[in-house]
Chains A and B, each alone.
Chain A
Amino acid sequence: MRVALSVTCVNDAMFPDTGKAVVTLLRRLGVDVAFPAGQACCGQPMVNTGYLDEAVPVVRNYLETFAGYDAVVTPSGSCAGSARHQHDIVARRSGDPALVEAAAGAPPTYELSEFLVDVLGVVDVGASFPHSVTYHPTCHSLRMLGVDDRPRRLLEAVRGLRLVDLPSAEECCGFGGTFALKNADTSIAMGADKARHVRETAAEVLVAGDNSCLLHIGGMLSRQRAGVRVMHLAEVLAAQEGAA
């Protein structure tokens, strides 16, 4: 199986360690993931702000880059959701039948926890991370993809990791892409409550499957000097801290 990594524009530019963690993790599990250099973005920022015409070349680039692979894996529930639910809309908007066909025939884009649990069939990925962790299920992974408890099962199998339940875990953190800027006050009000719930857990690390949500929650926690760090699920699953 030829598997390509779609690292996402946010991770590529801002969180390279997450991408590296995915590579480390997948190699450990015997998957030699490819990184097609043409990749850039899934188009979601444009689509969700209403700029469909602008999204056309971005989606075209995505579809061209990953055509020919058997599967695409991405460390983002939101970008996987965009690939699976929005590319078809953008392709139809373009009026280009070839692009519509490319979207229909594109290889499946899996969010990381789906790829690990469903495609590779593993739950124990051989990780070791002796810290207290709370997990925030991001909205798009939960409701657009339906990843359900896959990330939790992966985390529960990590050596030394103590998983603490996050109160009101399934409530949105308030990031929402350009919502965070266009409706900044409401976004921050939502983030303040999420940050409060994170603090209530007294966990050392907040984990999620989307770095954009973590950029928002982590940004608030750090502004509050909360003493909590945020980490992408991939980085925890790649960790082998103190492993024998």
Chain B
Amino acid sequence: MTATFVGMPPFPEAARAALADTQLRSNLAHATATIRAKRAAVVAEVDDWEELRLAGAAIKDNTLLHLDEHLVALEAALTARGATVHWATDAAEACAVVARVARDHGVDEVVKVKSMVTQEIGLNEALAAEGVLAWETDLAELIVQLGDDLPSHILVPAIHRNRAEIREIFERRMKDVGRPAPDDLVDDPARLAEAARLHLREKFLRARMAVSGANFAVAETGTLVVVESEGNGRMCLTLPDVLVSVVGIEKVVPTWQDLDVFLQLLPRSSTGERMNPYTSTWTGVTPGDGPQEVHVVLLDNGRTRALADEVGRQALRCIRCSACLNVCPVYERTGGHAYGSVYPGPIGAILNPLLRGVGTDEQVDSLPYASSLCGACFEACPVRIDIPSVLVDLRAQVVDAHRAGAPKPEALAMRAAAWSLGSGARLGRLERLSGVVGRVAGRLGRRTLPGGRRALGRLPGLGGWSGARDLPAPPVESFRAWWRRTDGGRTEERA
């Protein structure tokens, strides 16, 4: 199981391949439409939804503003309750902590409850290099792991798979890594879930160490919170002797009262449920109950870089609900793999560049452009992240990062456009030229478009446009020329 996002091509190229995958298109169109409808229905039930969104955004902003204080408070509370806190600047440091704990206890396998952050840091691969197998126990993550695949959605990592594909993966792979799939497996959701349950139960009961993430970390009591809907989280968090939780530093909330707001926002935005099925909270070590050794790794890995970005820092409000993915018309068609990261979709298009910085990696630099700026994501976001504004700001950062050195054709075209569009007189001169093109097209053009205008043929350099779309020939007379000739239509009216 060595699939990684390393070496993914820039978005346009990756998207081109994904767009041709008809099974993917069909699975995604169906799945996102279903989740969209569910979310819309349960959000509409809440009278003060907009106030909740404002509260969620304000709590996160205020926490981020004093992040240093809240993190120190969290560390103190965790330590007081018997947990060991580790600070990790980057992925390598965080992975090293988890690997060391595994080594100290001589384990060769860990069970994991789905966590984005451990995928972000490549923990499974790092543990594998140390001879430790990491078993994903979330149903969708299990499907991805067994299929040597990559997650394509924040909440539903196997959204690109349908039930027939899942049955095939279970039948083919379960036997290699544990309890085989039942002989008479069919692609009925309940039967598939049962097969996963039996397969995973073996691992839960055997494992001595678990790895989790956390949806929230409550500073006032040192409590970590995991929100899931299968009960596998509860198994991971209670059965093994040793628990390591890797937590991004932006996950801290000051109080339980703050948590209340997010536990209202998250389930409705993510799974379209009124209340989350399994919400687990744990506070350090409880003698005689649950893991007797608890480690918490507080991870930066680019978060302080994002925090320093005036426009982009709002991305750290994200509670990983994936509402923005489900409403995104780009995501719905390309799927998550095209974004080349565990964080796909609109939030991924801003979060990856913010965490990693722009100007050094072509793939990362392509992400802020992977949007038509339609704004559906901002409208759906439960913590009001203005994703379109952050995208536009990141585009400027990408362009600025490449200003030194020889300008690319796009930069030259933009300079020329800016010059032409910087004055009415200059634009007017260009329009006289395009009017000549229009006159020629009127004589020679062979096709008439609906409404009566002549079509322009295919244009050199504009294949991206004219490959699939007709283009009307420019008019013989521009609006400004008409206005001047007719005094704004007044002489025409008299005539």
Tell me the A residues contacting B by CB distance below 8 Å: 7, 9, 11-17, 19-20, 23-24, 35-41, 43, 45-52, 54-55, 57-58, 60-61, 65, 85-86, 93, 139-140, 142-144, 170-172, 174-191, 215-216, 218-223, 226-231
Within 8 A of A (CB), among B439-492: 449-451, 455, 462, 464-465, 467-472, 474-475, 477-480, 482-484, 488-489
Number of contacting residues on B, CB 8 A?
71
Considering the chains assembled together, what is the distance between the CA atoms of A234 and B183 in angstroms? Answer: 65
Take A13-B431, A227-B450, A230-B451 as given contacts and tell me if A54 and B418 are in contact as well, using a CB distance cutoff of 8 Å. yes
Query: Chain A residues near B467 (CB, 8 Å)?
Result: 184, 188
| A23 proximity list for chain B (CB < 8 A) | 488-489
B residues in contact with A227, CB < 8 Å: 450
For the complex with contacts A38-B423, A143-B378, 17 further pairs of A-B residues with Cβ separation under 8 Å are A20-B479, A40-B422, A46-B418, A47-B392, A49-B399, A51-B418, A58-B422, A140-B373, A143-B379, A175-B372, A176-B371, A176-B373, A184-B12, A189-B19, A218-B470, A222-B455, A231-B451
A48 x B373 contact (CB < 8 A) = yes
Q: Is there an interface contact between B422 and A61, defined as CB atoms closer than 8 Å?
A: yes
Structural contact, B16 and A12, CB atoms closer than 8 A: no
A187–B418 CB distance below 8 A: no
Q: Which residues of B contact A223 (CB under 8 A)?
A: 468-470
Q: Is the CB of A222 within 8 A of B480?
A: no
Residue of B nearest to A39 (CB): B424
How close is B411's CB to chain A, nearest CB, in angstroms? 7
Residue of A nearest to B397 (CB): A50
Residue B282 interfacial (CB < 8 Å): no
Q: Is the interface of A mostly helix, strand, loop or mixed?
A: helix
**In the complex, residue of chain B having the shortest beta-carbon distance to the beta carbon of A176:** B372
CB distance from B15 to the nearest CB of A (A): 5
Q: How far is A182 from B477 in the complex, measured between Cα atoms in Å?
A: 30
Chain A nearest Cβ from B42, distance in angstroms:
19
* A49 in contact with B423 given A14-B472, A171-B329, A184-B465 (CB within 8 Å): no
How long is the Cα–Cα vector from A7 to B431 in the complex, in angstroms? 14
Residue of B whose beta carbon sits closest to that of A140: B375
User: What are 29 A-B pairs at a CB distance below 8 A?
Assistant: A13-B431, A13-B434, A16-B477, A38-B425, A40-B420, A46-B417, A50-B394, A50-B397, A50-B398, A51-B399, A52-B396, A58-B418, A58-B421, A86-B392, A143-B375, A170-B376, A172-B329, A180-B465, A183-B15, A183-B330, A184-B468, A185-B12, A186-B333, A190-B333, A190-B372, A219-B469, A223-B470, A230-B451, A231-B451
A38 contacts across to B, CB distance below 8 A = 423-425
A48 touches B392 (CB 8 A): yes
Q: Are A179 and B392 in contact (CB under 8 A)?
A: no
Q: How far is the CB of A101 from chain B (nearest CB, A)?
A: 20
Q: With a CB–CB cut-off of 8 A, which chain B residues contact A41?
A: 421-422, 427
Contact of B395 among A16, A48, A190 (CB under 8 A): A48
User: Is the CB of B204 closer than 8 A to any CB of chain A?
Assistant: no
Chief secondary structure at chain B's binding surface: helix
Please indicate the chain A residues that have their CB under 8 angstroms from the CB of B465 in the complex. 180-181, 184, 219
Question: A65 vs B420: C-alpha distance in the bound complex, in angstroms?
Answer: 16
Cα distance, A52 to B369, chains bound together (Å): 15
Q: How close is A132's CB to chain B, nearest CB, in angstroms?
A: 14
B 374-405 to A, binary, CB cutoff 8 A, 1 in contact else 0: 11101100000000010010111111100000
Closest to A93 in B: B396
What are the residues of chain A within 8 A of B410 when measuring CB–CB? 49
Determine the distance from Cα of A20 to Cα of B489 in the docked complex, in whole angstroms.
8
Q: CB-CB < 8 A to A230: which residues of B?
A: 450-451
Q: B124 at the A/B interface (Cβ < 8 Å)? A: no
State whether A190 touches B330 (Cβ < 8 A). Answer: yes
What residues on B are CB-neighbors of A187 within 8 Å?
A: 372
A residues near B423, Cβ cutoff 8 Å: 38, 40, 61
CA of A177 to CA of B189, assembled, Å: 42
By the criterion CB–CB under 8 Å, are A139 and B418 in contact?
no
Q: Which residues of chain A are within 8 angstroms of B378 by Cβ–Cβ distance?
A: 143
- Which residues from B are CB-within-8-Å of A51? 396, 399, 411, 414, 418
Asked, given contacts A176-B372, A186-B334, A220-B468, whether A229 binds B477 with beta carbons under 8 Å apart, the answer is no
| Minimum distance in angstroms from A52 CB to a CB of chain B | 5
Q: Which chain A residues lie closer than 8 Å to B15 at the CB level?
A: 183, 185-186
Contacts of B30 in A (CB 8 A): none
Chain A residues lying within 8 Å of B430, measured Cβ to Cβ, are 13
- B370 interface contact, C-beta 8 A: yes
Cα A9 to Cα B478 with chains together (Å): 10
Measured in the bound complex, the distance between the Cα atoms of B374 and A170 in whole Å is 10
> Given A49-B395, A184-B467, A185-B12, A16 and B482 touching (CB < 8 A)?
yes
Distance in angstroms from A69 CB to nearest chain B CB is 15
* Pick from A171, A174, A180: contact of B464, CB under 8 Å: A180
Interface residues in B9-31 (C-beta closer than 8 Å to A): 11-12, 15-16, 19
Contact indicator B478/A12 (Cβ below 8 Å)? yes
